[in-house]
Structure 1
Amino acid sequence: MTKTPTACFIIIGDEILSGRTLEKNLPVLTDLLNKQGIRLTEARIIPDKKDQIIQTTIECSHKFDEVFTSGGIGPTHDDITSASISEALNLPLERHEPTFELLKRNSPNKQCNQMKEKMAWFPKGSTPIENNCNAPPGFSIKNIHVMAGVPAIFKSMVKWLIPQLSKGTPLHSFAWHSFNLSESNFAKDLQTLQENFPNAELGSYPFRNGDKEGVTLVSKGNNLDAVKTAASMFPNIIRKHGGTPHEGDFQS
């Protein structure tokens, strides 16, 4: 059986923790990882503080097969992710010349000031993570992948990166939803179904949008047969409680 690689996402930024900036990168990363067969099992949000970035990087790089970070690789004084990860790995920072040339080409008068040049310095031995947003790349070093926090740039980087990583068994997911029912209607049935299908991960998720409310039942996992068979039981469970089954997630 193909091993399922594990992953952690480290979201770096005071602006995320303060609520000033809404975190939008997690769903993008998760979707691509699921298709690649890599299971994201943990996500952390930490501030732009060197000691915490170093500690978290060391811990996660030993605990997970792949570690992804977002944020803190820009030109400003508080963009310290690259230097912190370099220190965490006990590697020197060095200027990546192709990235430096890219920065110069995209700068007025083809000049690159000292703060902008900062974005071309990676830990020694890093491989650039490309993007198509006409911006400097992120970088990979060992099992750590360092990317921008800006959603459009992050998405471009991660779409280039993920297909190049080791592939596991894709995560399969099937859903049915119904209106005007609550989770308590399904609790006992889902418990019994879960006992019968231990290789599927079953869950119920309430939704509400205006005057529409109900519950979505989800079956997911790496074992396609188990996941699909368990999900095929959902329509009858919904009908049992007087609901009308609708295939898929509720779309607001």
Structure 2
Amino acid sequence: MSDHTVTAGIILIGDELLSGRTQDTNLSTIAKWLEPLGVQVGEARIIADDAEVITQTVRTFSERFNYVFTTGGIGPTHDDITADCIAAAFDLGISERDDAIAMLRERYEQGELNAARRRMARIPDGASLIKNPVSQAPGFQTRNVFTMAGVPSIMRGMLPDIEHRIQGGAKVYSVNVTAAGIGEGDAAEPLAEIERRFHGVSIGSYPFFNADLRGVTFVARGRDKAMLEKVEIALSALVADLT
């Protein structure tokens, strides 16, 4: 890892996500997986199964971020168009690959590899495959874009074959301090003062409520571990003053 910032963009593809029929968990999984690798998520988008939108979003994200992760749209059905869109985003051809077919044969007998399932072996030219130990249908890496399945268990299974391809940057650390019985407004001014005192540290406040209690959790993030320890002391003193 180096001391510079390495960023990632995440593109979640699928009409089912936008309609609310399917609740996404992939964003959280990928972001948490990237954090210890020293990669910060800069933006995430949920987009429809629309070829023009997918193609343009992939192209834009590839230019803006060090790494891009897409989930969804690489299955066997007619609306699984992500592979074609990735190819279009980089002006590449796309075709069925023998090595991808070999992976599918680990799951399917020859007679089961119908035209629909063979669609999952169509890979953009020059892309490297991403192993899929769950259902065998591979993902693939095209330049700085990693294209993965939308099914959470399958997507998670692909991550180990990506880790060695990531060159991480500066790790971001965090500390949490929780205060019960106060609201965000009570701490706004002194919190801003703490953030001004410690350059390079960002502080967020996250309220919580239940039937018996309200409160706030303060989360400070930064690259300097020693400085964060001082911020934690300052936040703890702030909580003591307010409670």
State whether TM-score is above 0.5: yes
Kindly report which structure 2 residues correspond to 1:103-182, keeping only aligned pairs within 5 A, or say none: 103-108=104-109, 111-182=112-183
- For 1:154 and 1:162, how far apart are their aligned partners in 2? 13
TM-score by length of 1: 0.91
Q: Secondary structure at 2:55's aligned position in 1?
A: helix
Q: Secondary structure at 1:55's aligned position in 2?
A: helix
Do the aligned residues in 2 keep the contact of 1:131 with 1:153 (CA within 8 Å)? Answer: yes
- For 1:111 and 1:101, how far apart are their aligned partners in 2? 13
- For 2:162 and 2:15, how far apart are their aligned partners in 1? 26
Q: Secondary structure at 1:7's aligned position in 2?
A: strand
Q: Which runs of 5+ in 2 are unaligned?
A: none
Q: CA deviation at 1:6?
A: 1.1
Q: Which runs of 5+ in 1 are unaligned?
A: 243-252
- For 2:70 and 2:20, how far apart are their aligned partners in 1? 18
Aligned match of 2:213: 212
Counterpart of 1:46, as a letter, is: I
Do the aligned residues in 1 keep the contact of 2:132 with 2:154 (CA within 8 Å)? Answer: yes
Q: CA deviation at 1:159?
A: 3.6
Aligned match of 1:36: 37
Q: CA deviation at 1:77?
A: 0.7
**Identity of counterpart residues, as a percentage?**
34
Q: Secondary structure at 2:105's aligned position in 1?
A: helix
Q: CA deviation at 1:227?
A: 2.4
Counterpart of 1:92, as a letter, is: G
> CA 1:186–1:4 in structure 2 vs 1: closer, same or farther (change >3 Å)?
same
Provide the aligned length of Structure 1 versus Structure 2: 242
Kindly report which structure 2 residues correspond to 1:89-100, keeping only aligned pairs within 5 A, or say none: 89-100=90-101
Aligned match of 1:249: none
Do the aligned residues in 2 keep the contact of 1:8 with 1:60 (CA within 8 Å)? Answer: yes
Q: Which string of whole-angstrom CA distances, capped at 9 and with x for unpartnered residues, describes residues 213-248 of structure 1?
A: 311011112222222321221111111011xxxxxx
Q: Which string of whole-angstrom CA distances, capped at 9 and with x for unpartnered residues, describes residues 130-160 of structure 1?
A: 2321331211010111011111111121243
- For 1:18 and 1:190, how far apart are their aligned partners in 2? 38
Q: Which moved more, 1:28-37 or 1:125-134?
A: 125-134
Do the aligned residues in 2 keep the contact of 1:32 with 1:162 (CA within 8 Å)? Answer: no
TM-score by length of 2: 0.94
Q: CA deviation at 1:83?
A: 0.6
Counterpart of 2:205, as a letter, is: S
Kindly report which structure 2 residues correspond to 1:59-78, keeping only aligned pairs within 5 A, or say none: 59-78=60-79
Aligned match of 2:49: 48
Q: Secondary structure at 1:230's aligned position in 2?
A: helix
Q: Secondary structure at 2:170's aligned position in 1?
A: coil
Do the aligned residues in 1 keep the contact of 2:103 with 2:138 (CA within 8 Å)? Answer: no
